[in-house]
Amino acid sequence: MYALIKKEINGFFNSLIGYIVIIIFLLTISLFLWIFPDSDFNIINAGYASLDSLFIIVPWVYLFLIPAITMRTIAEEKKSGTLELLLTKPMTEMKIVTAKFIACSLIVLLSLLPTLIYYFTVIYLGSATGSIDHGATWGSYIGLLLLGCVFVSIGIFASAITDNQVVAFIIGLFLCLFCFIGFEKISLIGLPALVASVTNYIGINAHYISLSRGVIDTRDIVYFISAIFLFLMMSKTVVESRKW
């Protein structure tokens, strides 16, 4: 499985597209946080030491970044015929899906690490050193990482159900968007209070916001892990269905 993880990471960074995707991700965030003077997310104009703008923007950029990372994971293997070759090796469908999930999650983590520069910059710019809310900041980073992992699992599922990378990207984008805010929007259309509460709880955003407050609630952690497991199992089932 380690060889497949290494292959996926090398395959991403051996192409110019891999670097372009990450550069665009970081450039987009930087422009909104530091450059665009009229942006509501500009940290300098906000006047207080906070990275709230970062944690609002990144999930929306993730919607495009992560499907771009995952769209080739299984779709390319199916189109090129190498998926059958992988299945002839001593690897189960679940191991293949898990290896691709780990590889893509590591790529997302690598893209997120440079944003720590913003964290230390805000600490330095604050009128009082360390005035930033460290608990909320690190809680938000944990939330971003878990959110990214869920989006990765969704993207891999989207890649598993087609052999076209562009279609996989579009499906992945739609599913990530729906799981992120779709349930929240549905809960606001006048449903009974209990149904609306449950519907909102199913959505990802409610749990991401909870972690962003700096309180690591085990219920939110369990939710994210369960969502990841669900989509990985669905991906495994789709890959396995080729034998039926």
Measured distance CA(105)–CA(238) in Å, rounded: 20
Q: Quick one: pLDDT at residue 39?
A: 65
* pLDDT value of position 38: 67
Beta carbons of 63 and 172 less than 8 angstroms apart: no
Query: In degrees rounded to 5, what are phi and psi of residue 209?
Result: -65, -40
The whole-number pLDDT of residue 204 equals 92
pTM for this entry: 0.90
Q: How many CB atoms lie within 10 A of CB 16?
A: 8
pLDDT of residue 109: 93
pLDDT values of the chain reduced to their tens digit, one per residue, 244 residues: 777 888 888 877 887 777 888 888 889 888 888 787 666 777 777 666 677 888 889 999 999 999 999 998 888 888 877 776 776 677 788 888 999 999 999 999 999 999 888 888 877 776 555 567 777 788 889 999 999 999 999 999 999 999 899 999 999 999 999 999 998 889 888 778 888 889 888 999 989 988 887 777 889 999 999 999 999 999 999 988 766 5
Count of beta carbons in the 10 Å neighbourhood of residue 135: 12
Is residue 133 within 8 Å of residue 50, measured between CB atoms?
yes
Domain extents in the chain:
2-243
Cα separation, 234 vs 239, whole angstroms: 9
**Residue count (the chain):** 244
pLDDT given for residue 237 in this prediction: 92
**pLDDT value at position 166?**
92
Q: Token pair of 131, please?
A: 């005035």
